[in-house]
Amino acid sequence: MNRAAASHEVDGGPLIRATSDRDVLAEAAGLTVGYGGVAAIENVSFRVRRGERIALLGPNGGGKTTLLRSITGEADRISGSLRVSASWATVPQTERSRLDYPVSALDVAVMGSLASLPWWRQPGRRERAAALQALERVGMVKLAGATFGELSAGQRQRVLIARGLVQDAGLLLLDEPFTGLDASSSDRLETLIGALATEERGILIATHDLEQARRWDLVVCLNRRQIAFGPPGEVLNLAVLEATYGGAIVAIPDSGGLGILPPHHHHQS
């Protein structure tokens, strides 16, 4: 889903082939981030451009969520640089404990407008219209009035993405959005993510699914430090996967491929 690189002149220098700076939504170089001054992931260097789906791979505790939090400012930058030049929206890792709040899918989508309203204004007709449009975009408008906590996991993910679209975020940060989804919901969400990327957004997706990551544009492999960053076809070799997942790497029978056994996943025989 890479946009065609454009040729252009930079600072009177030679003609180079590069996407314009405008296409870079976020860029980290030698970034170390953590909590309370203690490093959680070290030496992270990556770049997110418009139109890219980037998988964040790594074991539990490897630092996927922390990397997303570095962009939102919820984790501390300890050293290195991070430039975020787009507005971002997050879809956090599922918290089941919050699902008994009596809010509708529409309410959740409308919440995407709150940050852009002055503090004295309630969301009104315009914000509701924008929220409905976003729900339409993610295929959830028919369930706008449904209670959020009663939706399926896949439907909730799509509503939360709608909230991000209401925020008009250029950068979507999805933390394990496929966890708990059945195959058809996963396919549907993956199709939506692909469509949103073609609309010039950049999308970072923490996932435990290697096969999915192979279908996307770039991968960041994390295991308390950055193991690799690049196109899946170049990066996802045995050495990188072993450094990323350690002993949790397994050969998938009859496929010739490699899979991972994350600690919280059951082995499917």
Binding footprint of ligand ATP on the chain (CB under 6 A): 35, 40, 58, 60-66, 93
Among the candidate windows 40-48, 61-69, 231-239, 246-254, which touches Mg ion by CB under 5 A?
Answer: 61-69
Beta carbon nearer to ligand ATP, 109 or 203: 203
Q: Which residue has the tokens 């029978």?
A: 253
**Total residues interacting with Mg ion, rule: CB under 5 A:** 2
Nearest to 189 by CA among 217, 160, 218: 160
Instruction: Fill in the amino acid letter for 31.
Output: L
Beta carbon nearer to ligand ATP, 135 or 219: 219
Q: Are 38 and 94 in contact (CB under 8 A)?
A: no
Binder of residue 63, out of ligand ATP, Mg ion, none (CB less than 5 to 8 A by kind): ligand ATP
123 burial class (0-12, 13-18, 19+ CB within 10 angstroms)? Answer: middle
| 70 lines the binding site for Mg ion (CB under 5 A) | no
DSSP 61-97: TSSHHHHHHHHHTSSEEEEEEEEE-S-EEEEPPP-GG
| 65 lines the binding site for Mg ion (CB under 5 A) | yes
Beta carbon nearer to ligand ATP, 35 or 101: 35
Q: Closest separation between CB of residue 223 and ligand ATP, Å?
A: 9
Dihedral sign for Cα 66, 69, 70, 75, please: negative
Beta carbon nearer to Mg ion, 11 or 95: 95
Q: Closest separation between CB of residue 40 and Mg ion, Å?
A: 11
Q: Closest separation between CB of residue 180 and ligand ATP, Å?
A: 13
| 90 lines the binding site for Mg ion (CB under 5 A) | no
Instruction: Fill in the amino acid letter for 33.
Output: V
Beta carbon nearer to ligand ATP, 62 or 170: 62
Residue 93's alpha-carbon distances to 111, 122, 133, 173, in angstroms, are 18, 28, 24, 10
Beta carbon nearer to ligand ATP, 40 or 110: 40
| 19 lines the binding site for Mg ion (CB under 5 A) | no
Dist CA 92 CA 66 (whole Å) = 12
Residues engaged in binding Mg ion (CB under 5 A): 64-65
